[in-house]
Amino acid sequence: MEYSNISFLSDYGYKDEFVGVVKSVIWSITPSVRIVDITHGIGRHDVRAGGLALARASQYLCSGVVLAVVDPGVGSTRRGVAVELAEDQSVLVGPDNGLLAPAVAMLGGASRAVSLTNTKLQLPAAGDTFDGRDVFGPAAAYLCQGVPLEELGEEVAVASLLPAVVPTAQKLDDHMTAEALWVDHFGNVQLNVAPDDLDDMGERFYLKILGTATGGAGGIGATGGASGVGGGQQLFATSAKQTQTSQAPIGLGLVGRESSAAAARDEPDSPDEQQPKLPQERTLVSVRASAYDQLGEKEVGLVVDSYGMVSVAMKCQSASDELSLYEGMSVVLTPLSGDLVEFTPRPKIRLEHG
């Protein structure tokens, strides 16, 4: 089967030539293919953020090949894989480090997968540090030519693909503990909370921000190995069915992995860009709103974002910057009429890919 589109995501950034080189390699093999740049602004080595972004975008991407490269384990024993979707005419290509699993699960699971071991369909290279150019890009290009999946390498069990770890919110009698999943370009902070989680908790909340950004859900390490399983679900590449246990709609990017939030963001270029230091714990009042414009000046809102998740937001301001609330940080939501509560650790739930 031939494909006409490649959707491309990476942490390569926009400063160096990496993105242009990968795209040129693809066009040198398959000149007619269209390439859509999802983003190349993922934080360096941040597989968690890459998996979240890919999952959020996946339901809107054209059928074809999805090329995703956030690969801190490049050159190691981690596999490169191509994963064929079970319920969609698409193939995902990239490192087997948990990056692809959230999107594959969201899109219905995988029918089969191969390890990219056929060097005849790869570029010769002086070093093993640019698999986007030498391995993944060519694999995507050859798939668009109609090269069968099995010619890219040996088949591997879908269940053997590395999963992702999902931080899960916990709702107790009078409060909910949650985690910041993602900060968008405007500074809105997406939580792992679905709107109906708050429906019986009122319209106004104490928002207690806990500590500084020290990590996400824990789980799979940045190089593909185990770094200690933290608090979250695991998503595998075999099916989206188990993702429903999270109460979030299937289309949402409620997925993630390791990697500290501090490491996920690029280091500031100057002292002026250093993040402000606030107390380890702080509490403020927030209100539910259906639009940013409903919020008053400096008012903190809980707004359902475009992916259907609750986000912490402010009107025409970056809530992340104003509140020093970053990816991987924990929050407690307590109805305004209730008492403030101490933090309760999030539970861990294991989900199967199948």
pLDDT digits (tens, 9 = 90+) for 26-74: 999 999 999 999 999 999 999 999 999 999 999 999 999 999 999 999 9
Structural domains in the chain (count): 2
Asked, for residue 223, whether it belongs to a domain, the answer is: no
Q: DSSP label at 157?
A: -
Q: pLDDT tier at 86 (50, 70, 90 boundaries)?
A: confident
Q: Where are the beta strands (DSSP E) in the chain?
A: 5-10, 34-39, 65-69, 80-85, 91-95, 110-115, 155-156, 164-166, 170-171, 176-183, 189-191, 204-210, 233-235, 281-289, 300-304, 310-314, 330-335
Q: What is the pLDDT of residues 144-158, one digit of tens each?
A: 999 999 999 999 999
Residue with tokens 């380890």: 280
Q: What is the pLDDT of residues 275-307, one digit of tens each?
A: 555 556 889 999 999 999 999 999 999 999 999
* Sign of the CA dihedral with 326 first, then 106, 251, and 13 last: positive
Q: Are residues 211 and 92 in the same domain?
A: no
Q: Are residues 188 and 133 in the same domain?
A: no
Q: Are residues 70 and 206 in the same domain?
A: no
Query: Which of 117, 142, 160 marks a domain boundary?
Result: 160
CB–CB of 193/253 below 8 Å?
no
- The residue segments making up the domain with residue 198 are 168-216+259-266+276-335
Exposure of 6 in the CB half-sphere (CA atoms within 13 A): 30
Asked, for residue 237, whether it belongs to a domain, the answer is: no
CB–CB of 312/325 below 8 Å?
yes
pLDDT at 337: 77
Cβ-Cβ contacts under 8 Å for 248 (sequence gap 6 or more): 192, 194, 254, 308, 309
- Cα separation, 211 vs 343, in Å, equals 11
Q: Are residues 75 and 141 in the same domain?
A: yes
* Sign of the CA dihedral with 328 first, then 262, 37, and 122 last: negative
Q: Are residues 138 and 189 in the same domain?
A: no
Q: Are residues 60 and 208 in the same domain?
A: no
pLDDT at 219: 30
Q: Are residues 175 and 154 in the same domain?
A: no
Q: Are residues 328 and 209 in the same domain?
A: yes
Q: Are residues 281 and 329 in the same domain?
A: yes
Asked, for residue 250, whether it belongs to a domain, the answer is: no
Asked, for residue 156, whether it belongs to a domain, the answer is: yes
For residue 243, is pLDDT > 70? Answer: no
Asked, for residue 125, whether it belongs to a domain, the answer is: yes
Both structure tokens of 18: 């990496």
Question: Which CATH number does the domain housing residue 35 bear?
Answer: 3.40.50.10790
Question: Which CATH number does the domain housing residue 190 bear?
Answer: 2.40.30.90
Neighbours of 158 (CB within 10 A): 22
pLDDT at 58: 94
Asked, for residue 71, whether it belongs to a domain, the answer is: yes
The amino acid occupying position 232 is G
pLDDT at 217: 37
Query: Which of 129, 160, 191 marks a domain boundary?
Result: 160
- Cα separation, 291 vs 300, in Å, equals 12
- Cα separation, 237 vs 352, in Å, equals 8
Q: Are residues 178 and 326 in the same domain?
A: yes
Query: Which of 117, 132, 160 marks a domain boundary?
Result: 160
C-alpha to C-alpha distances, 106 to 87, 96, 220, nearest whole angstrom = 10, 17, 19
Asked, for residue 79, whether it belongs to a domain, the answer is: yes
Any idea what the Cα angle at residue 116 is, between residues 110 and 118, rounded to 5°? 135
> How large a percentage of the chain has pLDDT more than 70?
75
C-alpha Rg value of the chain to the nearest Å? 20
Q: Are residues 61 and 130 in the same domain?
A: yes
- H helices of 154-298, in order, are 261-264
For residue 133, is pLDDT > 70? Answer: yes
pLDDT at 92: 98
pLDDT at 339: 53
Asked, for residue 142, whether it belongs to a domain, the answer is: yes
Q: Are residues 37 and 126 in the same domain?
A: yes
Backbone torsion region of residue 208, taken as left when φ is above 0, otherwise alpha when ψ lies between -120 and 50, otherwise beta: beta
From the list 16, 27, 319, 51, the residue with the least C-alpha distance to 190 is: 319
* Sign of the CA dihedral with 41 first, then 257, 253, and 55 last: positive
The residues with which 209 forms a beta bridge, in sequence order, are: 282, 331
CA 102 centroid distance within chain: 8
